[in-house]
A and B are shown apart, each in its own frame.
Chain A
Amino acid sequence: MMRFARRLFLGDNETRDVVVVLAAALVLWEIGVYVFQPSPLILPAPSAIFAAFLETPGLFLRHLGFTLWMTCLGFVLAVVIGVALAVGIVYSKFLERTIYTLLVALNSIPKVALAPLFVIWMGTGPEPKVAIALMLAIFPIVIDMVLGLRSVDPDMLALAKVSKASPWAVLIKIRFPCALPSLFAGMKVAISFALVGAIVGEFVAGSRGIGFQILVAQGQFDTVRVFVSLLLLGVVGTILFFLVDYTERLSLPWHVSQRGRHQSSADRA
């Protein structure tokens, strides 16, 4: 937080631009509502939304916490299972023909439509939410990871072969590090998908989470509270994305895409 404030005020252009654009959008929205006076049922002002949040912040944050928990569980499981599947697919022709083909076929079904089925299978507790988040998040991870594991310089593999490397050493020392940039690209898509999955799970059944909050507020025509929930989701989704992005910067200082972003790796060396 301190770092963010420092970046904001000490002229980190990127951060300042983002904050200025967001603030300008909110101000325009507020002015628009003030000038055109739409029904609060249609479009409440940002100030009203903020006030509604402050009435019951604990309630919103508790539900948000639940959604966040479902999202993260689904995401972490998707990464672990997805990476394992990708390694299997790359190393086994059989798995490539079976699981990979099946995954690609399954990916073409609108997965949101499967949500009710998960409720029948798993009930109305946290399980179907995590499962749906996992199901949505795992596709970009498997597909990007398979691509990453395969896009290894053939000369590098030749080098490993003449050095008599075991398949395990090739995986750990060459393929896996080579695939990390792709994995992170997949994870950035997956984290947003996991959040979508958790919300869809809460829409379908249950009594907790921001998705459930939106349904309740909608039922009462409480548009302001719908907007509170949406804005909270926007904030959390953005934070999650940048957490993955930040982890990527820490893990891949060597990658071309990161070199311009911070010079410290060269200085450290």
Chain B
Amino acid sequence: MAPPASSETAAYVALGRVGKTYASPRGPVAALVDIDLDIRPQEFVSVVGPSGCGKSTLLKLVAGLEGTTFGTIDIGGKPLDGTPDRLGVVFQRDVLLDWRTILDNVLLSIEFTRKPTADERARAVALLNRFGLGGFEHRFPWELSGGMRQRASICRALLADPDLLLMDEPFGALDAMTRDDLNIELAQIWQDTRKTLLFITHSIAEAVFLSDRVVMMSKAPGMVVDVITIDLPRPRLLAVRDTPEFAAYVHRIRHHFAELGIVKE
């Protein structure tokens, strides 16, 4: 499949010279400096960087959970005001509510503002089935494994059919095997729905496997050091990871991080 959009297409998310500074007892601390980033509609963009580089802060800024100190964020062609409309977020932890069943947790994103329709309930059940959670609708979160819980939280983010999906290291707390499974499932669901997706991770392999473009960030204060277009064929199966092309991308990103003294080679 061809890359999703040419560079002329108007960006869905546009960050212009975005900076974020936090106050601290010892004066202001810069978390993010001069971030320029355009995400085109239906593009899968990953941000990779060492821990503490501000990549989660970047996601919070786009989600409208925190305000920028400098620069502008435009979403859908309009300056960001509050939280974006039609937004889905998946956090590192699943943040499911313990007193709600899995189905009710998935419906929560709608229930915050209105009563879900029968149609939406059916959609929620279908989503859960799609993610292998059929039969667990009426279970409680604490009866499920970590991987199943995170799947449910992805269903919750997808239920309202958002235009923009933000994921903050969603598989960071999972074991390697579950993580592989979820990578494949996410690649498939993205293939089907083509959401504009901003994915934060510290795994280079995960970023290369999933993304159209990988944004590399430096150590704190976070700056964009490189943006790499991943030109691997889609749909991607796990076997992609055994190809020399895949290895070359991972090596290139790793090598670049090593040159910057961020990882050892």
Q: Which residues of A contact B (CB under 8 A)?
A: 153, 155-156, 158-166, 169, 173-174, 177, 252, 254-256, 259, 265-266, 269
What is the distance, in angstroms, from B101's C-beta to the closest C-beta of chain A?
7
| A269 pairs with B138, CB closer than 8 A | yes
Specify the chain A residue showing the minimal Cβ separation from B90. A159
Contact A173 B108 (CB under 8 A): yes
Chain B minimum-CB-distance residue to A160: B112
A162 lies within 8 A of B93 (CB):
no
How near does chain A come to B67, taking the closest CB pair, in angstroms? 13
Q: A156-B97, A177-B97 are in contact. List 18 more A-B contacts (CB 8 A).
A: A153-B93, A158-B91, A159-B95, A161-B65, A161-B83, A163-B108, A163-B109, A163-B110, A163-B112, A169-B111, A169-B112, A169-B113, A174-B97, A177-B99, A254-B99, A266-B140, A269-B139, A269-B140
Interface on chain B toward A: helix, strand, loop, or mixed SS? Answer: loop
Given the interface pairs A153-B95, A254-B98, the reply to whether A162 lies near B89 with Cβ below 8 Å is yes
Residues of A within 8 Å of B111, CB to CB, are 169, 173
Shortest distance from the beta carbon of A252 to any chain B beta carbon, whole Å? 8
Closest residue of chain B to A158, judged by CB? B65
Instruction: Considering the complex, give the chain A residue whose CB is closest to the CB of B112.
Output: A165
Q: Determine which residue in B99, B112, B113 has the highest number of CB atoms from chain A within 10 A of its CB, and name it.
A: B112
Chain A: minimal CB distance from B197 (Å): 15
Nearest-neighbor residue (CB-CB) of A165 within chain B: B112
10 closest cross-chain pairs (CB), A and B: A165-B112, A163-B112, A254-B99, A254-B98, A155-B95, A163-B109, A269-B138, A155-B91, A162-B83, A162-B89
B64 contacts chain A at the CB level, 8 A cutoff? yes
CB distance from B237 to the nearest CB of A (A): 32
Cα A173 to Cα B96 in complex, Å, equals: 12
Interface range for B: 20 to 34
Could you pull out 5 A-B pairs where Cβ atoms are within 8 angstroms? A156-B95, A156-B97, A159-B91, A163-B108, A266-B140
Cβ B83 vs Cβ A269 within 8 A: no
Q: List B contacts of A166 (CB < 8 A).
A: 112-113
Closest-CB distance, A175 to chain B (whole angstroms): 11
When A156-B95, A177-B99, A254-B99 are in contact, do A162 and B142 touch as well, CB less than 8 Å?
Answer: no
- Tell me, rounded to whole Å, the shortest Cβ–Cβ distance linking A136 to chain B: 30
Given known pairs A156-B97, A159-B95, the reply for A165 and B113 (CB within 8 Å) is yes
Please classify the interface of chain A as helix (H, G, I), strand (E, B), loop, or mixed, using the class held by over half of its residues: helix
Residues in A whose Cβ lies below 8 Å from that of B109: 159, 163
- State in angstroms the CA–CA spacing of A166 and B88 once bound together: 17
Task: Assess whether B91 is in contact with A269, with CB atoms less than 8 Å apart.
Answer: no
Chain B residues near A177 (CB-CB < 8 A): 97, 99
Closest to B87 in A: A162
B63 within 8 A of A: yes
A165: chain B residues at CB < 8 Å are: 112-113
Contacts of B99 in A (CB 8 A): 177, 252, 254-255
B180 within 8 A of A: no
Known contacts A164-B83, A165-B112, A169-B113, A265 near B89 by CB under 8 Å: no
Q: CA A178 – CA B101 in complex, angstroms?
A: 15
**What chain B residues lie within 8 Å of A158 (beta carbons)?**
60, 63, 65, 89, 91
- How near does chain B come to A162, taking the closest CB pair, in angstroms? 5
User: Is B65 touching A254 in the complex (CB atoms < 8 A)?
Assistant: no
Residues of B within 8 A of A162 (CB): 63-65, 83, 87-89
Inter-chain contacts of B97 with A (CB < 8 A): 156, 173-174, 177
Chain A residue contacts of B259, Cβ below 8 A: none
Choose among A164, A259, A266 the residue that contacts B112 (Cβ–Cβ < 8 A): A164
| Interface status of B143 (Cβ within 8 A of chain A) | yes
* CB neighbours of A153 from chain B (8 A): 93, 95
The smallest beta-carbon distance between B119 and chain A, in angstroms, is 19
Residues of A within 8 Å of B108, CB to CB, are: 159, 163, 173
Across-interface contacts of B87 in A (CB, < 8 A): 162
B-side contacts of A174, CB under 8 Å: 97
Query: Hey, which chain B residues are within 8 Å of A265, CB to CB?
Result: 140
